[in-house]
Structure 1
Amino acid sequence: MGRNTRKRRTPPAAKAIAAAAALALGGGGLLWANFHASAHEPDQRAWGGNQTKAATAQVATVSCPDVGQRLTNVPDAARQGVARELAALDRQITEAYARLAATRDAQAKDPGFVRNAIVGPLGEKRAATIDRIRIVVQRAGGSFDNALEQLAPCATRSANQTNAGGGQQNGDGQQNGGQQNGGQQDNGGRQGGGIGGQAGNGPVAADFVDITKVAPNVQGKPRRTANASTGTFTTRCGVNANKNHNTDNVIVAPGVTNGAHHLHDYVGNQKVDAFANNQTLLQGGTSCRNGGDLSSYYWPVVRVQDGTRDFDQNADGGGKEGNVGRILTPVQAEIKYVGSPAAKVVAMPRFLRIITGDAKTTTNGLANANAHWSCTGFENKVQLTERYPICPQGSKVVRSFAFQSCWDGRNTDSANHRTHVAFADPASGVCPNGFKAIPQLTMRLVYAVPPPVIRNGQVMNAYAVDGFPEQLHKPATDHDDFISVTRNGLANQIANCLNRGQNCA
Structure 2
Amino acid sequence: MTPQAHKRSRLTTRLVAAAAALLLGGGGTALIAAGASADGADEDGPAQRSGPAAVASTVSCPDVGDRLRQVPRGAQLPVSRGLAALDRQVATAYEKMTAGGRGGKTDAMLQQLRQQREKTIGAMADAIGRSAPRPDALLKMSACKMKPTGQAISVGEQQGEGDAAQQGQDDAQQGQGDAAQQGQDGAQQGQGDAAQQGQDGGAQEQPPGGPSPDDFADIRSVQPNAQQPPQGDGASTGTFVSECGTNEEGHFNSDNVIVTPGVSNGAHHTHDYVGNETTDAFSTDQSLAASGTTCGNGDLSTYYWPVLRTLDGTSEHKPGAGHDGNVGSVLTPSDVKLTFSGSQAGDVTAMPRFLRIITGDAKAFTNGPANANASWSCVGFEDRQLKDKYPICPNGADVVRTFNFQSCWDGQNTDSANHRTHVAFAQQDGSCPAGFRAIPQLQEKITYDVPAGEQFAVDSFPEQLHKPVTDHGDFINVMPERLMNKAVKCINGGRDCG
State the Cα distance separating 1:419 from its structure 2 match. 0.2
Alignment partner, residue 98 of structure 1: 95
Aligned partner of 1:409 among 408, 411, 435: 411
State the Cα distance separating 1:120 from its structure 2 match. 1.2
Aligned partner of 1:318 among 301, 317, 321: 321
State the Cα distance separating 1:217 from its structure 2 match. 1.3
Aligned partner of 1:154 among 131, 137, 144: 144
Q: CA RMSD in A?
A: 2.5
Change (3 A) 1:188 1:411: farther
Change (3 A) 1:239 1:43: closer
Aligned partner of 2:284 among 258, 277, 286: 277
- Listed as ranges, the gaps of 5+ residues in structure 2 are 1-7, 23-28, 33-55, 154-193
1:295 paired to 2:301: yes
Alignment partner, residue 239 of structure 1: 246
Alignment partner, residue 437 of structure 1: 438
Alignment partner, residue 401 of structure 2: 399
Alignment partner, residue 124 of structure 1: 115
Tell me how far apart the structure 1 counterparts of residues 322 and 425 of structure 2 sit (CA, whole Å): 35
Aligned partner of 1:207 among 198, 209, 215: 215
Alignment of structure 1 residues 170-181 onto 2, 5 Å: none
Looking at secondary structure, tell me which structure has more helix per residue. Answer: 2
Alignment partner, residue 465 of structure 2: 472
Code of the aligned partner of 1:331: S
Change (3 A) 1:222 1:351: same
State the Cα distance separating 1:60 from its structure 2 match. 4.6
Alignment partner, residue 104 of structure 2: 112
Tell me how far apart the structure 2 counterparts of residues 49 and 131 of structure 1 sit (CA, whole Å): 31
State the Cα distance separating 1:94 from its structure 2 match. 1.3
Change (3 A) 1:490 1:43: closer
State the Cα distance separating 1:439 from its structure 2 match. 0.6
What secondary structure, in the 3-state scheme, does the structure 1 residue paired with 2:273 have? strand
Name whichever of 358-367 and 51-60 sits farther off: 51-60
What secondary structure, in the 3-state scheme, does the structure 1 residue paired with 2:126 have? helix
Alignment partner, residue 138 of structure 1: 129
- Listed as ranges, the gaps of 5+ residues in structure 1 are 1-41, 167-185, 453-460
Alignment partner, residue 150 of structure 2: 163
Code of the aligned partner of 1:486: M
Code of the aligned partner of 1:407: W
1:67 paired to 2:74: no
Tell me how far apart the structure 2 counterparts of residues 50 and 155 of structure 1 sit (CA, whole Å): 23
What secondary structure, in the 3-state scheme, does the structure 2 residue paired with 1:476 have? helix
Change (3 A) 1:43 1:418: closer
Tell me how far apart the structure 2 counterparts of residues 487 and 187 of structure 1 sit (CA, whole Å): 55
8 Å contact 1:284–1:294 — kept in the other structure? yes
Aligned length: 416
Tell me how far apart the structure 2 counterparts of residues 197 and 257 of structure 1 sit (CA, whole Å): 32
State the Cα distance separating 1:225 from its structure 2 match. 2.3
Tell me how far apart the structure 2 counterparts of residues 363 and 49 of structure 1 sit (CA, whole Å): 19
8 Å contact 1:373–1:399 — kept in the other structure? yes
State the Cα distance separating 1:223 from its structure 2 match. 2.2
C-alpha offsets along residues 242-289 of structure 1, whole Å, 9 cap, x if unaligned?
111000010000000000000011100010110000110011110001
The structure having more radius of gyration, on CA atoms, is 2
8 Å contact 2:14–2:95 — kept in the other structure? no
Alignment partner, residue 482 of structure 1: 475
State the Cα distance separating 1:131 from its structure 2 match. 0.7
Alignment of structure 1 residues 183-202 onto 2, 5 Å: 198-202=206-210
Alignment partner, residue 378 of structure 1: 381
Tell me how far apart the structure 1 counterparts of residues 393 and 281 of structure 2 sit (CA, whole Å): 36
8 Å contact 2:206–2:212 — kept in the other structure? no
TM-score by length of 2: 0.79
Alignment partner, residue 185 of structure 2: none
TM-score by length of 1: 0.78
